[in-house]
Copies of this chain bind each other. A is one copy, B any other.
Amino acid sequence: MEYQFAKRMSNVKASAIREILKATADPNMISFAGGNPSAEAFPVKEIEKISADLLKNEPISILQYGITEGDQELLREATKFFNRYEQVTKDGDQMIITSGSQQIMEFAAKTLCNEGDVVICENPSFLGALNAFKSLGAVLRGIEYKDGQLDLEDLKQALSMEPRPKFMYLIPNFQNPTGMTMSLEVRKEVLALAKEYGVLILEDNPYGDLRFAGEAVPSIKSMDEDSLVIYAASLSKIIAPGMRIACCIAPQAIIQKMTVAKQASDVHSNLWAQKVMARYLHDYDMDAHIDRISMIYKKKCHLMVDEMKKHFHPSIQYTIPTGGMFIWVTLPESIDMLTFVKKALEKNVAVVPGNAFLDDDSKECHSFRMNYSTPTDEKIIEGVQILGELTYEMSKISS
């Protein structure tokens, strides 16, 4: 039988990362392609203890149907936690617990975008979010970077073009894939532009707590006094992603629409995960835990950068992150990026081609993404050396 699929799905491809990750199933492959937290970063013993207590003392609260908005205990604990250093929950805001923050991106597009509506995104940006928007028929309008910050002139132009965009999707902290952080000035400008043009902001902040150098920059949500920002806060990167728990904080009218969307999707998020998260936030010192895992990532990041400095051809440029999980590497124009990535894969090192993160992946791109949170130290040393040799090899060919 020949199936006729919906038009909205035709622009969404199986993720390029996913295809590369399949290759990394080979145990000989050194993968810098993922975006997984380090296995050392999970609070295993604490989760084991909390889970045992819950299943012994209140199993029905985990096994029975729950409420769509989320477990009351987690809503309370997460509100406390995400507001501990800055006020992201404003008067008239509400929270919904979602099955990972990707679901927030999907619900934002589902509740706000008609087919053909425009969503503004950074160029490059998180592939999963871009696919979520496209899967609801939204059209992407990418904003370029200029001198390491979002190009505000380009943004202004994108905001004033017809059709007017529905929202701007931004990852201000340790952006995926570039690892870059938006400056306070740019955040203020972006918020002012949102107000001027009456366009919402979807602020995605999965990595904000994973800072290992420099000072925290206030979230855009914390500066918003006009109910313009939908804030996506995740527990995946700081507790555990397999539990699929994130929190969306936004004006009540938006959360109510998202609640209807969630009722028609997965009804509610897994209750074991919600309850374990609530107890973990309540019973343990989250800041001490975050300090501990940030130090893991700091060490891994420094190792990777140091090895890159040693082994990469001097013509190769890359970001030096102060948090998060990713390094964005840019090759000179003389080296074809896709050929480089393919050759690296042949040498058993996987990285993600940068064009996968663009609003249009057929655009020319000289960059690729490297991840330091997942591989072991030994693999980082070995893999960077192989990539380094390849940078010299391909520079020679091209010169």
* Residues of chain A whose beta carbon lies under 8 Å from any beta carbon of chain B: 1, 3-9, 12-15, 18, 34, 36-37, 39, 42, 44, 47-48, 51-52, 55-56, 59-66, 68, 98-100, 102-103, 106, 110-115, 117, 128, 131-132, 134-136, 166, 198, 200, 226-228, 240-244, 251, 253-254, 256-257, 259-261, 263-273
Are A63 and B47 in touch, CB under 8 angstroms? yes
The interface residues of chain B lying within 8 Å CB-to-CB of A111 are 5-6, 9
Closest residue of B by beta carbon distance from A61: B242
Q: A44's contact among B4, B59, B102, B270, by CB below 8 Å, is which? A: B59
CA distance A99 to B274 in the complex (A): 14
Are A39 and B64 interface neighbours, CB within 8 A? yes
Is B6 a contact partner of A110 (Cβ separation < 8 A)? yes
* CB closest chain-B residue, reference A60: B39
A260 near B106 with CB under 8 A, answer no
Q: Given that A1-B228, A65-B242, A242-B65 are known contacts, is A18 also in contact with B263, CB under 8 Å in the complex?
A: yes
Interface centre among A4, A47, A98 (most CB of B within 10 A): A4
Indicate which residue in B9, B166, B243 contacts A272 across the interface (CB closer than 8 Å): B243
Q: When A270-B99, A270-B270 are in contact, do A253 and B3 touch as well, CB less than 8 Å? A: yes
List of B residues within 8 angstroms of A5 by Cβ:
111-112, 257
Copy number in this complex?
A: 2
Contacts of A7 in B (CB 8 A): 114
Given contacts A106-B265, A263-B18, A272-B272, contact A51 B55 (CB under 8 A): yes
Contact between B242 and A128 (Cβ–Cβ < 8 Å)?
A: no
Identify A264's interface contact among B47, B66, B98, B106, CB under 8 A.
B106
On whether the beta carbons of B263 and A15 are closer than 8 Å, the reply is yes
6 contacts between A and B (CB under 8 A): A13-B260, A14-B259, A100-B266, A115-B115, A131-B260, A269-B270
CA distance A18 to B264 in the complex (A): 12
Instruction: Evaluate contact between A3 and B272: CB separation under 8 angstroms.
Output: no
Q: How far is the CA of A4 from the CA of B113 in the complex (A)?
A: 9
Distance between Cα atoms of A34 and B227 in the complex (Å) = 36
Residue of B nearest to A263 (CB): B15
5 smallest A-B Cβ distances: which pairs? A270-B270, A63-B240, A242-B271, A99-B266, A48-B55
Given contacts A66-B242, A244-B269, A261-B9, contact A42 B14 (CB under 8 A): no
List 10 extra interface pairs beyond A64-B241, A128-B264, A265-B265, CB under 8 A.
A3-B253, A5-B111, A6-B112, A9-B260, A15-B263, A44-B63, A47-B63, A51-B51, A66-B242, A270-B273
CA distance A345 to B264 in the complex (A): 26
